[in-house]
Amino acid sequence: MSKKNIQAKNISGLILAGGEGRRMSGQDKGLIRIADKPLIEYAINCMAPLVDDLVISCNRNQDLYARYQLACIADQEAHTDSGYSGPMAGLVAGLKQAKHDWVLVMPCDTPLMTQNVMAQLVTGINQCNKIDSQAMVFFHNGLQPLHGIYHKSMLPVFERSLAENKNALHRLLRSLESVTTLAADCLEHSFNNANDIDELKTIEKFLSH
């Protein structure tokens, strides 16, 4: 697969906002406000300049997400009692919807993530020497698979894994030689994740500075 000269004009974008929000009392995290702005808006502002088309993966409140005039898609299949199959199902939906072969991905709950850091994935995949590379994800205190760039050829890999009820994304990616990791530069607090109320308060302090 060709990776040369991948630029914003031929990259699709996907924001993952379809989670259960279990540690947030079931709230739809993308719509939680922090520093007077919903979390989803931070992700949109970060991603929009880096891609040609941008999609939001959301399993509820699609009418509210639609206000951002972006395509909103839900997971097509659920293989768990809760109806959520995790981020792998969101990746499947996003890869199917994407206009281009390469898809830049980030979650809705890292509002300190910057364009500069996400752009390093595009530079990294362009410079990758692996001819058969299918994805590149950040490595920071462990694998960060929700911050990555994925080729559409990953679609059948994800679909097969979900069909087998194997929705552990970390485990799958670690097993694939075609997936490369990247250590990001200029991180600061980019990967701080708004997983619970305490973390939200911490992030809000950073945003207010």
How high is the mean pLDDT in each 10-residue block of the chain (209 residues)? 67 88 72 93 97 95 95 73 76 96 96 96 91 92 96 96 93 95 88 86 84
Residue type for 44, please?
I
Give me 123's structure tokens: 């530079």
Alpha-carbon span 153 to 135, nearest angstrom: 9
CB 75 within 8 A of CB 159: no
| Domain boundary assignment for the chain | 8-208
CB 143 within 8 A of CB 173: yes
Alpha-carbon span 97 to 55, nearest angstrom: 8
Is the whole model's pTM more than 0.85, yes or no? yes
Give me 106's structure tokens: 């980030």
CATH for 8-208, among 3.90.550.10, 3.40.50.720, 3.30.1490.100, 3.20.20.140? 3.90.550.10
Q: Tell me, what's the pLDDT at 130?
A: 80
Alpha-carbon span 92 to 87, nearest angstrom: 9
Q: Tell me, what's the pLDDT at 77?
A: 56
> Which residue carries 């630029």 as its tokens?
7
In the chain, what is the greatest distance between 2 CA atoms, to the nearest angstrom? 46
